[in-house]
Amino acid sequence: MNDFSLTIKEKEKVILVGVFGPDLSREQAQEHLDELERLTDTAGAIAVKKILQNRTNLDREFYVGKGKIEEISLLITLLGADSIIFDDDLTPSQARNIQRITQAKIIDRSGLILDIFASRAKTSSAKTQVELAQLNYILPRLTRAWTHLSRQKGGIGTKGPGETQIETDRRLIGQRIAVLKEKLKKLDLQRLVQRKGRADISRVAIVGYTNAGKSSLLNQLTTDSVLAEDRLFATLDSTVRRHLIGNKTILLSDTVGFIRKLPHGLIESFKSTLDEIRESDLLLHVVDVSSPTLEDYIKVVRKTLEEIKADEKPTILVFNKTDLLKDPFRLAELKINYPNAVFISAQQQIGFDVLEKAILEHMESDYETVTLRIPQKAYKIAAFVHQAGTVLNTKYVDDSVLIKVNLKKSDILSAERELTEFETETRTAFEEYEFK
């Protein structure tokens, strides 16, 4: 009989470090550090110590000061920690200085988020976008990786293999970045063709802070099976599903969750994914109503929407997880402060009728019933109108067809622009013609 033994790999132990000061209270910094702990857990490590340091100004050499770093170095030995994770981004020199004293692996917030994205990326598009963001992050930090090969003094004849290796690495990374950007262009083109193919259907994008319940909402509304778990960044790729509300079909898309201090490189790399938000007709901004800092989360999402130029989109604020909110006074307070918001529980399917009614009202406000006069030779425009809208009646007059249709306002403008080359009156009053 064979003797089998199961070895469980021990999780990497890390120390988390954050700061508070004039612009950030201790309570806020503690909440940020708690979020960093959740990110650490998502990355597969365990936080053995959380440290908050009061600083009026960040130390340019050691972030929290050399004395504090020496203290952390002792804790690494005592706790058997492998790494230190900082809640802000470090400069390459700060990371190098801290690593020299602690001899530990140094990770900043952007590095941690990029690592999580790399482990979560499943599709070719997501993997390409994450790799591009990682390489742009690594490029200015190459000197840290190769310090063991560099010579300390400058001058003629002192350029050693370290500097040569750095230049080689920079060149290789630059070439790889160019390849990835070209690949993303092709993927963007594919997405553009896909979006054009469904341009006649109203699109609703679900946005929100990570772990607000966006995927759960999509699953319950469309009876689908998109990955939804109680972890940060469960969704990286946009997932688009059809959904019927009343007599209107809409396209619902679940998008990558936002988070405070989201690395700018990720926003740039995930441009094509975020296009689902930019090109949508309506946003559902999902908020975890049970979070004690939901107002901060709302601000982060709004700021990110502004950064990707989607802040002027029509938006419905959707407070999710009402089943987890035990304080009825808090719920009443939120309803007063956000009178136009919708309150739901995606898991319990509570409030869906109110949400769908709000979506339908937004959709209908974006539509108009008009009668278009279209020359028979402009058959492509007539076909577009039939496909994009709800045709209520048609009538042939001379060499034209009158089509009474309920159509998106943007599609009406598109049709009228196309009709200008035919030099004909396009929009006609209903009462001028009798439809039978």
pLDDT at 134: 86
Q: Look over the chain and give the mean of its residue pLDDT values, rounded to a whole number.
A: 81
Which backbone phi and psi does 284 adopt, to 5 degrees? -105, 105
Q: Yes or no: say if 99 and 31 are a contact pair by the CB < 8 Å rule.
A: no
CA separation for the pair 357, 212 (Å, rounded): 21
Taking alpha carbons only, the member of 146, 253, 113, 268 closest to residue 194 is 253
pLDDT band at 435 (very low <50, low <70, confident <90, very high): low
Q: What is the mean pLDDT of residues 329-354?
A: 92
How far is residue 238 from each of residues 110, 201, 357, measured CA to CA in Å? 22, 17, 24
CB proximity list for 318: less than 8 A, separation 6 or greater: 217, 284, 285, 286, 287, 341, 342, 343, 344, 355
Does the pLDDT of residue 278 top 70, yes or no? yes
CB proximity list for 326: less than 8 A, separation 6 or greater: none
Taking alpha carbons only, the member of 361, 359, 418, 358 closest to residue 388 is 418
What strands lie across the sheet with 315-320, from one edge to the other? 239-245, 248-254, 202-208, 282-288, 315-320, 342-343
CA separation for the pair 375, 242 (Å, rounded): 33
More confident residue, 169 or 110: 110
Buried b (16+ CB within 10 A) or exposed e, 150-173: eeeeeeeeeeeebeeebeeeeeeb
Does the pLDDT of residue 247 top 80, yes or no? no
- Span 308-334, pLDDT tens digits: 888 888 999 999 999 998 888 999 999
For residue 399, give both structure tokens: 């060499």
pLDDT at 383: 87
Does the pLDDT of residue 426 top 70, yes or no? no
Residues forming beta bridges with residue 202, ordered by sequence position:
250
For residue 357, give both structure tokens: 């009614």
Where does residue 103 fall: left (phi above 0), alpha (psi -120 to 50 degrees), or beta otherwise?
Answer: left
CA separation for the pair 142, 272 (Å, rounded): 28
User: Is the Cα torsion angle 71, 74, 76, 80 positive or negative in sign?
Assistant: negative
